[in-house]
Structures are given as structure tokens and as C-alpha cells.
Amino acid sequence: MSKTPLWQAISNALREDMAEGRYRPGDKLPTEAELAERFGVNRHTIRHAISVLVEDGLVRTRRGSGAFVKGAPTDYPIGKRVRYHQNLRAAGRAPSKKVLHVETRPATVKEAERLDMTPGELITLRHGVSYADHQPIALSISEFPETRLPGIGDLMRGETSVTKALERAGITDYTRESTRVRATLANATQALHLELREGAPLIYTTSMSVDQHGQKVEFGRTWFAGDRVTLTLEEDA
């Protein structure tokens, strides 16, 4: 009877660790050096074991960052009311966001046209990353009419929740008027923030949100990691 190869035994042991919750979705696995010490093997054997887990869709790797446990795709409903934290909690995931950059400047012709503004009026752009269980699942850029929502730029700088920032700006309710969806591939910047390889498949959405009076309050562009999210379309959410 043939003996189980070391790389396979290590791969099986790590599978068991994940199944028993020692490593949860989004967790980083120990380094190659740490795993080599744990199992008493060289790093080449560890790399082989990890590569099998990657091929089986259990682990993802990123050069310079290590190996991370993958989870099942997160169901994300797209309807009239899209609320990130609420949606993620409903899917059993822990939501979080990181604001990368906020800038307020004169709107270009195209930006002004989208938000029913006059070119040159102030617009606020918010760049951010959204996480589920500490794993990045979406990169977004949102545009807000600063002249219609005075101070929204400062509010966005101090608040990770768009809904809460809009509430503080006087928008008690808003709905998604339209959403467009298409497939695309990750460029270098998107891959960096989403911890993907360049060229990985993404789901790209554009959306327009309006307040209770039908005034446009947000134009959003979002790039979802294609293997981490399942978009579900709802008539009313």
C-alpha cells in the first residue's frame, strides 16, 4: 500500500483545520516558514500543498501577502434599497468598509450631466473598499452633488457608511433608480485593492440613487470580485 505523499497529508490537515473553524473565511494562513516548522518539511512541500488548496478553490494567494481562506460567494441583493451592512449581515457575513480617498472639486461635464448639475459646481468623490469577513469583495467610487448636499464631503471623510452620511446631510430616505451590470477584468489598481491577480474577472455595476423627491444624490460605480459575490436582482428591496 502506497504511502500518502507529504504534500497531500499537509493539504488534508489544512482542510481539516478549515472545516473545524481553526481558519475561517478571510483568515490568513500561517507563513510558509511557520507551516514548514509545524509539519517538519521544506517550503517547497508547503507550496505544493497550498497550490492544491488553491486549485480546489479553498484558498487564494497573493504575491507578497500570503495565502487566505476563501469563503462561499456572498449573496448580494440589488434592488431599490441597497444597504451594504444590512445586506451582509442578512447573508451571515461581518461587513466592514475602508475609505481610501475623498475629494471635493468642480464637476466635469460628464459628471455634471449624470447628477443634473452645472459643470463646475462642486462634486464629492468617495473611493472605498468593502469587506465581508475581512475579505475584500468590492471596490467603489461614488459621486455626490456637493452643492445639493452641502458638507457631504466632510461627512464622507468621517463616516464609512454612505447611508449614515446621507442621513446626516438631511437625506432620510433614498432609493436606487437604476443599475447596470456587466463583466470586466481587473486592472492593476483594482487587483491590488481587491487582493486579486491582474486580469481576474470582476462584476462591474453602475447605479443612480435618488432621494424621496426624485433628486439625484449618488452615482456609484462598483467592481465586485467575481468569485466572491453572487448578485441577486430584486424588484423591491
Buried-state track 91-105, b at ≥16 Cβ within 10 A, e below 16: bebebbbeeeebebe
Query: How high is the pLDDT of residue 235?
Result: 66
What are 223-236's pLDDT values in tens digits?
A: 999 988 998 887 65
Given a cut of 90, whether residue 139 has pLDDT beyond it is: yes
Specify the CATH number for 74-233; select among 3.40.50.2300, 3.30.1330.60, 3.40.1410.10, 3.30.1360.120.
Answer: 3.40.1410.10
Give percent of the chain above pLDDT 70.
98
Q: Where are the alpha helices (DSSP H) in 56-199?
A: 84-90, 109-114, 152-158, 162-168, 188-194
Q: Which pTM does this prediction carry? A: 0.78
At residue 227, what are phi and psi to the nearest 5 degrees? Answer: -95, 5
Query: How high is the pLDDT of residue 3?
Result: 82
- Mean pLDDT rounded to a whole number for the chain: 90
Distance CA 172, CA 73 (A): 31
Task: Determine whether domain 6-69 maps to CATH 3.40.50.1100.
Answer: no
Domain ranges of the chain: 6-69, 74-233
Which of the four pLDDT bands, split at 50, 70 and 90, describes residue 75? confident
| 119 DSSP assignment | T
Query: How high is the pLDDT of residue 237?
Result: 44
